[in-house]
Amino acid sequence: MNDWRKLFDLSERVALVIGAGSGIGRAAAEGLAAFGARCVAADLSLENAEATAQAIRTGGGLAESAAVDVRNTQSVEELVGGVVQRHGRIDVLLTTPAVNLRKRMLEYEDAEFDRVIELNLKGTFRVARAVGRQMARQRAGSIILMSSMRALNVEPGQSVYSATKAGIGQMARGLAVELGPLGVRVNALAPGIVATPLTRPITSNPTWKEAYAQRCALGRWAEPSEMVGPVVFLASDASSYVTAATLFADAGWTAIDGRFEPQLSQAASKPP
């Protein structure tokens, strides 16, 4: 009989998590390590990355820290090269860094547009390219790129951010097609409203926070820890036949049409 619990076992695997210093990245790094992975926690802030790695080690897991700036190609390639030099391979990649400048498109300056594109889309590209090359050589691996429910649903002031997240979903699909024959899977994770440093401008405003909560089917915000399950699923053999997919962990946000509860007609409300 098969031991189905081993589907989620990440023992002996090397997981690189970029953006591990806070939010979803930190929770995911801790979660991957809890399932047995040796985690490389990387972040723009080495101090924050080390705090995550230390928390993992304190809990009995395997972790180390590293600094990286995904806006810089050399920084990304040095990080990936260092991980491969120390461990011989990279089995899992999760990359999360992003910025959201909430501003209507007609008011965007060129420099502001470049800032969002540079970090969100081009930064993801740099990381996926560098790690993808290594996984192609080893003919195995799982790449998880960070999209968002904003890839589908857009509100005023989030057009540029949404465009980057939609682009990341398409990037994952294209890379999955290219790397699939080499045994490498590529997927995107699209969270809904998660209480992270990126969303603090909303969560710090009680009225705004509650309005967002009521927009999704579950009526609440997610904690970063609630993204660990989807990440572990995409990283592990539990998703061995899943590639080129975007997994929406959005509490039904993208399924809801409209911002009010419609009144059902008398006929429609009668039981059959």
Cα–Cα distance for residue pair 72/94, rounded to 1 Å? 18
Map residue 145 onto helix, strand or coil.
strand
- DSSP three-state, residue 84: helix
DSSP 180-244: GGGTEEEEEEEE-SB-SGGGHHHHTSHHHHHHHHTTSTT-SPBPGGGGHHHHHHHHSGGGTT--S
Given the residues 108, 161, 212, 241, select the one marked as catalytic. 161
Q: Is 161 a catalytic residue?
A: yes
Q: Alpha helices, DSSP H only, in the chain?
A: 23-34, 46-58, 73-87, 110-116, 123-138, 159-179, 200-203, 206-213, 228-235, 266-269
- Whole-number Å distance between alpha carbons of 177 and 184: 9
Q: Are 5 and 11 in contact (CB under 8 A)?
A: no
Using the 8-state DSSP alphabet, how is residue 45 labeled? -
List residues with catalytic annotation.
161
